[in-house]
Chains A and B, each alone.
Chain A
């Protein structure tokens, strides 16, 4: 009985699933349906191709843009950067507090005047793009074994100078002639102003026979040359 039931069930299921087609249940327009399917199959590949072309074009564009950027930045490297220090001396941080040997100097970029920044012992010279604000991380200069007192930042003419490795300072500043501020009323005669500016002490050695002696004399720098003579009055 059960077997018969199972056979019946199997029978009608088979009938249904093995049904290959009914005359009223076939595709209305087989060729049109196939054309539609065919178009879809091939359109997809065309779309894929187009996507690949777009991707390639984008990559090319990206490469060219990055190339331009790199070229520009390398050109800028040859120029000096504008660096100017304002306010207090540049902050020096000790990066490694344990051995206390390294210090990082941060410099603020303020104007567009070209300037050179030279970092001392390792002869590290850093330049940057004009007008760009340099991030703190852009300019850390690591100098071994320097103290904050020796750290100097220069603001000079746009020339890259080489630092003397023997000098422990991080930068060199050409000494500006220090002019004493004198009120016009304080001057007795015009020469006094001049002398105030250029007088300088010079050391010299005098030898008389076997006896040697050293002395100091105040000279006017403008008039003093190697061939200049100094008159010494000997008394007693």
Chain B
């Protein structure tokens, strides 16, 4: 069924439409939550919290296309994840000076599959992962990240740099594995 119609029906309180929306969007949103929160059970709990807020505030949402709906739901989920991480006090990082910016081999990354990129990002430590997700994937600025996470911009930059460095190492390792596999 078309998403717009489902949203309209869900707004009117149709449980069936709400379930359809949940079925259609939950997997994608779970992956998003998993990018921020490594633990699967926690991510599922956050997903339910996010959907609860989504359905609760659906009355005030004006449907302007599927992209807008996705963006709104994504924002809700990211906020839920950040709230969860804040509760766990994972952002109590020591203030760090901005580290030297490390360029990520974007080309190498682009050659990987979505699942491989996802698995690499999930393996990053929580601080690196959060900053990397917010900066590199969602496109937030260091200022925004710093104010939201309660850290300095320098710390945000440093965390991103470390995340990139770690990803680089992972890519090299992957490349080596790939070459080894190819030669074997």
Chain A interface (Cβ within 8 Å of chain B)? 4-5, 8-9, 11-13, 15-22, 25-28, 30, 33-34, 36-38, 40-41, 44
Of the candidates A8, A28, A33, A36, the one whose C-beta lies within 8 Å of that of B109 is A8
User: Given contacts A12-B112, A21-B30, could you give 18 more A-B pairs where the C-beta distance is less than 8 Å?
Assistant: A8-B107, A11-B106, A12-B106, A13-B136, A16-B121, A18-B114, A19-B31, A20-B27, A22-B118, A25-B31, A25-B34, A27-B27, A27-B44, A27-B47, A33-B26, A33-B47, A36-B48, A40-B52
Which residues on the A side are within 8 Å of B31 (C-beta)? Answer: 19-22, 25
A34-B114 in contact (CB<8A): no
B130-158 residues at the A interface, CB under 8 angstroms: 136-137
Q: How many residues of B contact A (CB 8 A)?
A: 33
A1 to chain B, nearest CB (A): 11
B30-A27 in contact (CB<8A): yes
B110: interface (CB < 8 Å): yes
A-B contact pairs, 18 of them (CB 8 A): A8-B106, A8-B110, A9-B110, A11-B106, A13-B136, A16-B114, A16-B121, A16-B137, A18-B114, A21-B28, A25-B27, A25-B34, A26-B27, A27-B47, A28-B44, A33-B26, A33-B47, A34-B22
Q: How many residue-residue contacts, CB under 8 A, span A and B?
A: 84
A37-B22 in contact (CB<8A): yes
B48-A5 in contact (CB<8A): no
A37-B117 in contact (CB<8A): no
Which residues on the B side are within 8 Å of A12 (C-beta)? Answer: 106, 109-110, 112, 117
**Known contacts A9-B106, A11-B110; A16/B118 CB under 8 A:** yes
In this complex, what residue of A is CB-closest to B115? A22
B1-57 residues at the A interface, CB under 8 angstroms: 15, 18-19, 22-23, 26-28, 30-31, 34-35, 40, 44, 47-48, 51-52, 55-56
Bound complex: CA of A208 vs CA of B117, how far in Å?
A: 143
B152 to chain A, nearest CB (A): 26
Bound complex: CA of A36 vs CA of B44, how far in Å?
A: 11
A48 to chain B, nearest CB (A): 12
A33-B44 in contact (CB<8A): yes
Bound complex: CA of A5 vs CA of B15, how far in Å?
A: 46
